[in-house]
């Protein structure tokens, strides 16, 4: 076999998915591939797709773990519907993922992993590598396991240990196909395996062997090049939504000088926020892993009363448990950020899959008249911004705020431009002054209606608050009917007035016309991409995407009324659409819903959009 | 007065009972045992030497949980069962506060049972006044986790069929470091236990046998009433032999692995045979045995049964943060933004 000179094929974007057994190291190779794309200046989005079982039986479909990455020279909004390249380390992973391959996609498979037993376990009746079922694809069969072992023979590495590095061999092949330098990964190995230089060496050798091997494969006729994206200058990193959320909270704590307290109980897919925050003791973050979600939020309420920027993080089932305590934070008018990383429900539902089905719960899921601010992030990296804003609004307006993200945003990653704390908006909570003779627990700011935050330990401000209804201003316990009505109104009005402090809603595309697509939260990427496709095809269609849910931006009604048809797309049975209909009862609000634990596909969206455009 | 060993800021100003009296009308029933407990707190707080702004009272829901409204400190009246985690949040947020919890037997042992054991296990430095009236007072008389078996209540017209908790045993089973039991009819015992609880670093549980005159009147009568206390109440003091009875002629002796009641002068028993109380013993074995005793064969034991030294959760939180700040180069957000894998786009 000889090395060839190959033509370079320029691509605007490519979707690559690494799939294999949960133990095959697919997350690791996927992450390294993403880093290499980032270093090359591409924009990107990633999503890990792992089984909910920690160690499902080997070589079964249930045990397949994957990592998808979408890289491009233009802005990337989603992790991509269909893949250009799939790296499959065993039959089960190929079988489970073939449906995500584009026609003509490159399939890189480890032929050594295809024997009678594994083929049978995957549910194939014949070997897909031999039975011509894959002729629609560019199939690259490589004896990856064997070649990995051989490449390490000189180092005297035991076969079993050697074969564990086969993911690096496959990655090496991809690096060749994408014309990526190996150096950055070498540097990464040196850093990661500082304590075990031998491991760093093994990884380097195998990665390079994969690279060199690909160079000898004739079936690889060209190499792919994805140019650098035109991104704003600055320092970037690749960040997952959960880490971005944690950082947004930390940033708000530092900016407000109130110090962060988190009370939380582990739950997929929110746990990473807890794990990230607890790393940052040097930033003063106090993290309390409670005995359950109720204790998590109640400890946060205690910490909030004591003057901390308090938060609690969870997913749907945990939000259910927190309901009563959210009511306590509402009636005591204490700041509190509640992050709900949504997953498929009801009950335990689909823990590792994503949905937008907790919107009603966030808006309405409590006893009594119990409004809270509700915000939703829409990309992995803007989880930072919205977590920061959730904390800011909650503290400045002295009322809890629910931040909705979801499993896709939380686990997925995108590029994040490093901010500077000085450039983030100021946060000025209404902290009561020591020895203020006029202090009253429920005296309010005339603009925001927020009461003052009187922090225990401060001279001259002793007071009691609690879950019983209080007299406005004085805070004395009372069941007076008119006072209750007043307090109900004040708490609602306080939240409504947050609309004066958030940006107006924006429309992408014409500001009036035939069809407006409405979306909120984690679906921005898919819907934006679908609309881009329609616009390129000459269709007139506009998009407005909501991040501020309660209250809605003040110009919402005006926007909705400027279009003949409005289509609200969301991953639930129609919660946001009904919320809009409640406030803007208009007959022309249509809905498009999907509740499969999967994101929207671009083609299903464009199909629906076209249908609405055609119907008269 | 004893020096209180913790980090709450102190004052040199001599405080008075009136410094802690709130302007709220106390709404407990006349004759309710809670009044006496409030009186004890108003006596103890000014004498602890803390600045009055450094007290924070936390409660759940129940008659007893109205407590914070009646004391002029910072206070938060929470939701049913959740006083312990709220108090944990207050204490961890600001370890320089003296945090007190007022809770009922239903609040802390039924709906809040999980929080109760976990707070104790962590040894968060808070002081818990557990009003044990063996009934749900606020909801008008249903049985609670401490209601004795067979007792007729509004929700057990034919007698309960549940085994009650022994609170001391539960506390120590959860690795509690401080447990005291006191009656609501003895101000001296109450104030002593509260002082000791305040002094103790860690979760201090004081079981207060409180009379609910309306729904479980005389629930503790068989033990703490004038006519029964000599025989059935045994008040223990650290470093002293455990004696009881009208003329202190009876005592507890450790016989093998069991406690037994013996009489001084009988069968050659002398004071040297009597068990000497060591409340600081890290091993809870004897403390659990003492907490479990009760009629008909034994007296009920009162006073500070256990007060063992273990690190507190809130101190450890501060310690980890101090170490984190010492060891990590990331001292502020701008450092964090620059850390890890980043690259520049020009
Ligand atoms: C979530 C919830 N469930 C039930 C209640 C009703 N409730 C209020 S107090 C109480 C029991 C109180 O008993 P205990 O804690 O012993 O307090 P006591 O009134 O006896 O002092 C109950 C069941 C409630 N307030 N909240
Ligand atoms: S009902 Fe019982 S516990 Fe409640 S205030 Fe009256 S006497 Fe006290
Ligand atoms: Mg009770």
Q: pLDDT tens digit string along A497-509?
A: 999 999 999 999 9
Q: In a mutational test of the pocket of ligand 2, which residue from B213, B216, B217, B218 has the highest number of ligand atoms less than 8 Å from its CB?
A: B213
Of A282, A458, A461, the CB nearest to B330: A282
Q: Average the pLDDT over A555-567 and give the result.
A: 98
- B25 close contact with A: CB closer than 8 A: no
**Residue that wins the pLDDT comparison between B7 and A129:** A129
Mutation target among B26, B85, B335 for the A interface, most CBs of A within 10 A: B85
Instruction: Write the CATH number of the domain with boundaries A8-226.
Output: 3.40.920.10
User: Ligand 2 centroid vs B143 CA: distance in angstroms?
Assistant: 14
User: Ligand 2 centroid vs B64 CA: distance in angstroms?
Assistant: 8
Residue A35 has pLDDT above 70, yes or no: yes
Q: Strand runs (DSSP E) across A395-512, as ranges?
A: 400-406, 413-417, 464-466
Write the burial class of residue B164 (CB in 10 Å: 0-12 exposed, 13-18 middle, 19+ buried): middle
Residue whose C-alpha is closest to residue B294's, from B284, B303, B302: B302
pLDDT of residue A51: 74
- B188 close contact with A: CB closer than 8 A: no
Residue A403 has pLDDT above 50, yes or no: yes
Half-sphere exposure of A123 (CA within 13 A, CB side): 8
Residue B3 has pLDDT above 70, yes or no: no
Residue reference for tokens 């759940």: B60
Q: In a mutational test of the pocket of ligand 1, which residue from B34, B107, B129 has the highest number of ligand atoms less than 8 Å from its CB?
A: B107
**Alpha-carbon gap: B80 to the closest alpha carbon of chain A (Å):** 10
pLDDT of residue A616: 73
Q: Average the pLDDT over B183-210 and give the result.
A: 97
Residue A471 has pLDDT above 50, yes or no: yes
Element (H, E) at A304: helix A293-305
**Site residues for ligand 1, CB cut-off 6 Å:** B 61-64, 80, 104-107, 131, 133, 135-139, 144
In a domain, B264, yes or no: no
pLDDT of residue A193: 92
**C-alpha–C-alpha distance, residues A28 and A26, integer Å:** 5
Chain B residues close to A427, C-beta within 8 Å: none
User: Ligand 1 centroid vs B203 CA: distance in angstroms?
Assistant: 23
Confidence band, pLDDT 50/70/90 cuts, at residue A156: confident
pLDDT of residue A219: 86
Nearest CA to ligand 2 atom 5: B28
**C-alpha–C-alpha distance, residues B209 and B184, integer Å:** 6
**Residue that wins the pLDDT comparison between A188 and B53:** B53
**Residue that wins the pLDDT comparison between A18 and A615:** A18
| The domains spanning A237-423 and A513-614 adopt the same CATH topology | yes
pLDDT of residue A23: 84
Q: Average the pLDDT over A66-84 and give the result.
A: 94
CB contact under 8 A, B78 and A35: no
The domain that holds B59 is classified in CATH as: 3.40.50.970
Q: Is the CATH number 3.40.50.920 carried by domain A513-614?
A: yes
Residue B331 in tokens: 């001292």
Q: Point out the least confidently predicted range of A186-200, A532-546, B134-148.
A: A186-200
pLDDT of residue B182: 98
**C-alpha–C-alpha distance, residues A453 and A433, integer Å:** 9
Class of domain A237-423: alpha beta
Q: In a mutational test of the pocket of ligand 2, which residue from B28, B106, B184 has the highest number of ligand atoms less than 8 Å from its CB?
A: B28
Q: Average the pLDDT over A220-235 and give the result.
A: 93
**Residue that wins the pLDDT comparison between A606 and A39:** A606
Enumerate the H helices of chain B as residue ranges. 34-44, 83-93, 105-106, 113-122, 167-173, 187-199, 221-224, 226-232, 285-292, 313-327, 333-338
pLDDT of residue A3: 59
Chain B residues close to A34, C-beta within 8 Å: none
Total of domains in chain B: 1
**C-alpha–C-alpha distance, residues A394 and B191, integer Å:** 41
**Residue A616 DSSP label:** -
Residues 6+ apart with CB under 8 A from A588: A563, A564, A565, A566
Confidence band, pLDDT 50/70/90 cuts, at residue B129: very high
Of B53, B86, B343, the CB nearest to A299: B86
CB of residue B212 inside a 6 A radius of ligand 2:
yes
Nearest CA to ligand 1 atom 9: B62
CB contact under 8 A, B78 and A307: no
Residue A349 has pLDDT above 50, yes or no: yes
**Residue A33 contacts residue A100 (beta carbons within 8 Å):** no
Where exactly are the structural domains of chain A?
A: 8-226, 237-423, 513-614
Atom of ligand 1 nearest to the CA of B105: 16
**Residue B95 DSSP label:** T
Q: pLDDT tens digit string along A416-468?
A: 999 999 999 999 999 999 999 999 999 999 999 999 999 999 999 999 999 99
- B8 close contact with A: CB closer than 8 A: no
In a domain, B193, yes or no: yes
Nearest CA to ligand 1 atom 11: B136
CB contact under 8 A, A418 and B78: no
**Residue that wins the pLDDT comparison between B279 and B11:** B279
| A261-275 CB burial, b ≥16 within 10 A, e <16 | bbbbbbbbbbbbbbe
**Residue A575 contacts residue A356 (beta carbons within 8 Å):** yes
Q: pLDDT tens digit string along B232-283?
A: 999 999 999 999 999 999 999 999 999 999 999 999 999 999 999 999 999 9
pLDDT of residue B6: 46
Chain B from 116 to 145: CB within 8 A of any A CB: 118
Question: Which structural domain range is residue B68 located in?
Answer: 17-219
Q: pLDDT tens digit string along A282-317?
A: 999 999 999 999 999 999 999 999 999 999 999 999
Residue of A nearest to B98 (CA): A457
In a domain, B213, yes or no: yes
Residue A2 has pLDDT above 90, yes or no: no
pLDDT of residue A1: 43
Strand B127-132 with B204-209, pairing: parallel
Q: Is the pTM of this model over 0.90?
A: yes
Q: What values do phi and psi take at A274, rounded to 5?
A: -60, -45
**Alpha-carbon gap: B174 to the closest alpha carbon of chain A (Å):** 14
Q: Average the pLDDT over B119-143 and give the result.
A: 98
In a domain, B139, yes or no: yes
Nearest CA to ligand 2 atom 2: B212
């Amino acid at each position: 076999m000889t090395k060839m000179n190959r033509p370079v094929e320029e691509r605007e974007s490519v979707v690559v998915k690494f799939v294999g057994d949960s133990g095959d190291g697919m997350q690791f190779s996927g992450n390294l591939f993403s880093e290499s794309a980032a270093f090359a200046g591409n924009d990107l989005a990633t999503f890990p797709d792992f089984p909910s079982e920690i160690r499902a039986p080997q070589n079964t479909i249930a045990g397949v773990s994957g990592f998808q990455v979408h890289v491009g020279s233009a802005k990337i909004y989603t992790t991509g519907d269909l893949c250009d390249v799939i790296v499959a380390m065993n039959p089960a992973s190929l079988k489970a993922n073939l449906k995500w391959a584009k026609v003509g996609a490159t399939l890189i498979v480890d032929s050594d992993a295809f024997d009678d037993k594994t083929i049978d376990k995957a549910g194939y009746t014949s070997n897909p590598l031999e039975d011509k079922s894959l002729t629609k694809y560019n199939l690259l069969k490589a004896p990856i396991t064997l070649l990995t072992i051989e490449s390490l023979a000189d180092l005297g590495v035991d076969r079993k240990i050697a074969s564990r590095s086969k993911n690096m061999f496959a990655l090496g092949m991809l690096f060749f196909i994408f014309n990526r330098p190996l150096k950055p990964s070498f540097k990464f190995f040196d850093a990661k395996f500082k304590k075990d230089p031998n491991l760093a060496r093994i990884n380097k050798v195998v990665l390079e062997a994969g690279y060199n091997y690909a160079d000898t494969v004739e079936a690889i006729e060209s190499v792919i090049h994805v140019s650098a994206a035109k991104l704003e200058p600055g320092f970037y990193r690749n960040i997952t939504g959960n880490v971005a959320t944690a950082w947004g909270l930390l940033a708000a704590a530092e900016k407000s000088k109130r110090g962060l307290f988190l009370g939380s109980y582990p739950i997929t897919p929110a746990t990473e926020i807890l794990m990230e925050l607890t790393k940052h003791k040097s930033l003063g973050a106090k993290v309390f892993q409670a005995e359950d979600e109720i204790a998590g939020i109640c400890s946060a309420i205690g910490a909030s009363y004591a003057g901390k920027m308090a938060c609690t993080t969870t997913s749907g089932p945990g939000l259910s448990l927190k309901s009563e305590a959210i009511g306590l934070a509402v009636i005591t008018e204490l700041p509190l950020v509640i992050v709900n990383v949504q997953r498929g429900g009801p009950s335990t539902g689909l823990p590792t899959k994503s949905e937008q089905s907790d919107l009603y719960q966030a808006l309405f899921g409590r006893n009594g008249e119990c409004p809270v601010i509700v915000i939703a992030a829409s990309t992995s990296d803007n989880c930072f911004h919205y977590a920061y804003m959730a904390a800011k609004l909650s503290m400045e307006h002295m009322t809890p705020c629910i931040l909705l993200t979801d499993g896709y945003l939380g686990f997925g990653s995108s590029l994040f431009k490093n901010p500077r704390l000085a450039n983030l908006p100021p946060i000025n909570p209404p902290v009561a002054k020591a020895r203020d003779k006029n202090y009253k627990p429920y005296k309010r700011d005339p603009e925001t209606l927020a009461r003052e935050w009187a922090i225990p330990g401060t001279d001259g401000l002793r007071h009691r608050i609690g879950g019983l209804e209080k007299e406005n201003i004085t805070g004395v316990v009372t069941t007076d009917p008119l006072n209750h009505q007043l307090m109900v109104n004040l708490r609602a009005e306080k939240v409504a007035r947050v609309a004066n402090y958030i940006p107006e809603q924006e429309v992408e595309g014409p500001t009036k016309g035939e069809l407006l697509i409405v979306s909120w939260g984690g679906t921005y990427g898919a819907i934006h991409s679908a609309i881009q496709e329609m616009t390129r095809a000459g269709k007139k269609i506009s998009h407005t995407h909501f991040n501020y849910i309660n209250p809605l931006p003040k110009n919402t009604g005006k926007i909705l009324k400027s279009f003949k048809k409005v289509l609200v797309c969301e991953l639930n049975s129609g919660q946001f659409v009904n919320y809009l209909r409640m406030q803007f009862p208009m007959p022309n609000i249509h809905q498009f819903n999907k509740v499969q634990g999967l994101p929207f596909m671009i083609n299903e969206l464009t199909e629906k959009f076209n249908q609405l455009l055609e119907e008269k | 007065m004893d020096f209180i060993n913790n980090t709450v800021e102190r004052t040199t100003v001599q405080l008075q009972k009136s410094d802690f009296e709130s302007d709220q009308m106390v709404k407990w029933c006349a004759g309710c045992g809670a009044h006496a407990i409030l009186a004890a707190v108003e006596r103890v707080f000014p004498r602890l030497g803390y600045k009055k702004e450094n007290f924070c009272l936390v409660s759940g829901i129940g008659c007893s949980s109205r407590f914070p409204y009646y004391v002029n400190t910072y206070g938060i009246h929470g939701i049913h069962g959740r006083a312990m985690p709220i108090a944990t949040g207050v204490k961890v947020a600001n370890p320089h506060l003296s945090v007190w919890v007022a809770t009922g037997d239903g609040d802390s042992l039924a709906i809040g049972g999980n929080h109760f054991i976990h707070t104790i296990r962590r040894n968060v430095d808070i002081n818990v006044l557990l009003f044990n009236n063996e009934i749900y007072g606020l909801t008008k008389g249903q049985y609670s986790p401490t209601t004795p078996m067979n007792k007729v209540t509004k929700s057990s017209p034919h007698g309960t069929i549940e085994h009650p908790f022994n609170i001391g045993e539960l506390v120590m089973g959860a690795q509690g470091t401080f447990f005291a039991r006191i009656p609501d009819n003895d101000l001296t015992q109450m104030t002593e236990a509260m002082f000791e609880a305040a002094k103790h670093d860690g979760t201090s549980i004081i079981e207060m046998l409180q009379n609910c005159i309306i729904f479980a009147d005389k629930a503790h009568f068989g033990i703490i009433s004038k006519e029964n206390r000599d025989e059935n109440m045994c008040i223990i003091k650290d470093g002293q032999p455990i004696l009881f009875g009208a003329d202190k002629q009876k005592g507890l002796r450790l016989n093998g692995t069991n406690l037994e009641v013996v009489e001084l002068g009988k069968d050659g028993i002398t004071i040297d045979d009597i068990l000497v109380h060591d409340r600081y013993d890290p091993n809870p074995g004897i403390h659990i045995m003492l907490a479990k005793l009760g009629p008909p064969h034994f007296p009920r034991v009162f006073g500070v049964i256990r007060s063992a030294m273990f690190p507190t959760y809130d101190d450890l939180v501060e310690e980890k943060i101090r170490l984190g700040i010492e060891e990590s180069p990331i001292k502020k957000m701008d450092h964090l933004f620059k850390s890890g894998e980043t690259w520049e786009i020009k």
